[in-house]
Amino acid sequence: MKVKDLSIDERPREKAMQYGIEMLSNRELIALLLRSGTKAQSALEIADEVIQLTSSLGEIANLSMSELMRIKGIKCAKGLELLAAFELGKRIAFDKVLHKKQIEQPEDIMEWLNQEIGYVQQEHFVVMFLNQRNQIMNYKTLFIGTLTNASVHPREIFKEAMKQGCAKIICAHNHPSGDPNPSKADIELTKIIQQVGEMVAIPLVDHLIVAHNTYVSLRQKQLMD
């Protein structure tokens, strides 16, 4: 059934106009972004295929263009529009972080961090650069791949920290497995970063491990010196 054959209350565009965008389901929001279907499938049916590509909504933001374009009815323009919508979501979340008066606890940045690295399939190591007032000035993904002491170099972290002119740093990385509990290597690496930070007077505030909308703070777990 095509979207135009549905009742007014079932059409995503009309439903959003009548009841508000927040009343749309995930599939309806994606269908709204797609705008139209094909001769064989409605925009809602194509939206279902997009959702079925992943095990959770958060993972859709990390789909590639090639993955999206394998779905009939999604070509370059529609694929880019979908990716642009999710990228805007990440940037809006980070903008909220930038405008916080200060970062007081992990929850202050978790909405953004989960969108940024919570669902990616490779480990990403992100460093956030803070000023003296505990406000985030900027962030950078410094390492991608398996997290080991050999692949994450504290000298690169603090080289970038000095370039940014920050007073403190927060480190974060993701566990693609979905389990945020720190490994022995995570704990050892955190202690090394903390020691180097003390030597260069740029302290490590916390090291967060993010996984599928959950997280662990090594400071809260008392796994930092």
pLDDT at 61: 82
Tell me what pLDDT residue 105 has. 94
Question: Which candidate, 57, 64, 32, places its Cα nearest to that of 46?
Answer: 32
Nearest to 35 by CA among 68, 2, 1, 59: 2
Predicted confidence (pLDDT) per residue in 38-71, tens digit: 888 989 999 999 999 987 787 888 888 999 999 9
Mean pLDDT of 209-214: 93
Euclidean distance between CA atoms 55 and 169, whole angstroms: 33
Give how far the C-alpha of residue 3 lies from the chain's centroid of Cα atoms, to the nearest Å. 32
Spatial distance between the Cα atoms of 147 and 152, rounded to a whole number of angstroms: 7
Query: Could you give the angle at the alpha carbon of 177 between the alpha carbons of 48 and 79, nearest 5°?
Result: 35
Token readout for 4 is 């135009």
Q: What is the pLDDT of residue 216?
A: 97
The predicted pLDDT at position 55 comes to 79
**pLDDT band per the 50, 70, 90 thresholds, residue 191:** very high
127/190 Cα distance (integer angstroms):
12
Please give the Cα distance from 216 to 14 (Å, whole number): 42
Percent of the chain with pLDDT over 90: 73
DSSP code, position 212: T
Kindly report, residue by residue over 75-84, the tens digit of the pLDDT. Answer: 999 999 999 9
State pLDDT tens for residues 2-45: 666 666 567 888 889 988 999 999 999 999 999 888 888 989 99
The confidence score (pLDDT) of residue 149 equals 47
- Total-model pTM: 0.81
For the segment 132-161, what is each residue's pLDDT rounded down to a tens digit?
999 999 999 999 986 554 488 999 999 999
Number of Cβ atoms within 10 Å of the Cβ of 12: 24
Quick one: pLDDT at residue 197? 97
Residue pair 156/142 in contact by the 8 Å Cβ criterion: yes
Query: For the purposes of burial, counting CB atoms within 10 Å of the CB of 192, is it exposed (0-12), middle (13-18) or buried (19 or more)?
Result: middle
Q: Which residues pair with 204 in a beta bridge?
A: 169
